[in-house]
Structure 1
């Protein structure tokens, strides 16, 4: 029997979710996980394959940041682990773990503890709409990058192909 693996870049999926599924609650982990599973089954349907042709859905993401940092201007502390987005990510990962034929692959967030100026704030500084002395905490963001996610996707593709576990791989990502 033919088997299909569906590999989903979590950061890309979540970034696109609110635009593609405007009618669904993007802050509800259960809704997002069920939508993700339904999307995977829709891919099978479009490929004219039955549901039992699904080998597995691989969801690649990073665990949320669980550290406390000082804000760049005010010096106030911010606990990223207590944020709504961190709570959502934890709930989503728990929901995904409960789904049949779902594999959660976690990379990690590489944080250097550095705050960087947001693109729009930099633009405002350049064109004179914002002055240096008027910068506030909300003009900055923590420099975070996912690591190991692309590598894990590549390793899974190689493993699935080498072991001939699937004859088709669907990759859902925004990476070029």
Structure 2
């Protein structure tokens, strides 16, 4: 098990107007002069994580240190790493955490599995 953390792309961080605020502005129920902090979300991207994970996958595969890799992601940027691992005989399983994945990623995995129930679909009692 490994957790890879990237760095925040501070220079690309920005505030985005929330969709509900945009609708209110378009309908005339919210004026630009009435905008408050609650009408915005901070949009910050993490950089470098995909590359770190891809290098880990390549290293594990080339060194024959594992028989199976379970990647918790649905990002199609991992297609090259998945292809490499499978060429090296590694069973490559993907858990996209309830997100649809692109066909090009699905083509290069050995299994698609979700290991936990979707919290958004859990019935409240």
Relative to the length of structure 1, the TM-score reads 0.38
Q: 2:29 and 2:50 mapped to 1: Cα distance?
A: 38
Residues matched between the structures, number: 75
Equivalent in 116, 139, 144 of residue 16 of structure 2: 116
Counterpart-to-counterpart distance in 1, 2:38 and 2:10: 18
Measured after TM superposition, the shift of residue 128 of structure 1 is 3.0
Seen in structure 2, the aligned counterparts of structure 1 residues 143 and 156 have a Cα distance that, compared at 3 Å, is same
- 1:122-158 Cα shifts (integer Å, max 9, x gaps): 2332333322121101111223001111111111111
Tell me the equivalent position of 1:166. Answer: 66
**Which one has the bigger helix percentage?**
1
Q: Which has the higher contact order (CA 8 A, sep 6+)?
A: 1
**Cα distance change, pair 126–111 in 1 and its aligned pair in 2 (3 A):** farther
What do you get for the CA RMSD once the two structures are aligned? 1.9
Would the alpha carbon gap of residues 142 and 129 (structure 1) be closer, same or farther in structure 2, given more than 3 Å must change? Answer: same
Other-structure match for 2:52: 152
Residues 130/169 of structure 1: CA separation in 2 closer, same or farther (3 Å cut): same
What displacement does 1:169 show?
A: 0.4
Task: Give 5+ residue unaligned stretches, structure 2.
Answer: 76-100, 102-125
Q: 1:164 to 1:109 in 2, by over 3 A?
A: same
Quote the residue 1:73 is aligned against: none
CA contact (8 A) 1:111 1:143 kept: no
Change in CA separation of 1:171 and 1:125 when aligned onto 2, cut-off 3 Å? same
Q: Please tell me whether residue 139 in structure 1 is matched to residue 39 in structure 2.
A: yes
TM-score, normalization: structure 2? 0.51
CA distance 1:151–1:137, change in 2 (3 Å): same
Name whichever structure is richer in strand by fraction: 1
Structure 1 gap segments, 5+ residues each = 1-56, 60-104
